[in-house]
């Protein structure tokens, strides 16, 4: 079974998608078999969420919207997981790091 899914979420974390959040997002993404991509706009450019270098280079800032899309057997779960992580501020207290 295969499918596609997409969604978006506003980054509320203090410093945006910086080092630690990027590692967390990448680690989460690697747990899914679907291709999983993120972008700063609904039209792309899309980058591979499983590539730590590309995710970190994106430098997505606080209050910017992160667009997520996936294709594959667990596409829906993958998109929901990424959005959940961002909504939870990457499971970090906002301590300015």
- The residue range among 1-9, 22-30, 66-74, 80-88 that interacts with other proteins, by the rule CB under 8 A, is 22-30
Contacts of 53 (CB under 8 A, 6+ apart): none
User: Which one of residues 9, 15, 23, 73 is an interface residue with other proteins (CB under 8 A)?
Assistant: 23
Closer of 54 and 64 to other proteins (Cβ): 54
- Binding site residues, other proteins, CB under 8 A: 19-20, 23, 26-27, 30, 50-53, 56
């Amino acid at each position: 079974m295969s499918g596609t899914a997409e969604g978006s979420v506003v980054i509320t974390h203090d410093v945006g998608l910086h080092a630690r959040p990027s590692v967390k997002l990448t680690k989460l993404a690697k747990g899914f078999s679907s291709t999983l991509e993120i972008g700063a706009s609904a039209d792309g450019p899309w980058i591979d969420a499983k590539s730590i270098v590309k995710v970190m280079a994106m430098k997505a800032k606080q209050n910017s919207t992160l667009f997520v899309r996936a294709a594959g057997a667990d596409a829906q779960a993958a998109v929901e997981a990424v959005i959940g992580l961002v909504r939870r501020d990457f499971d970090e207290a906002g301590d300015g790091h």
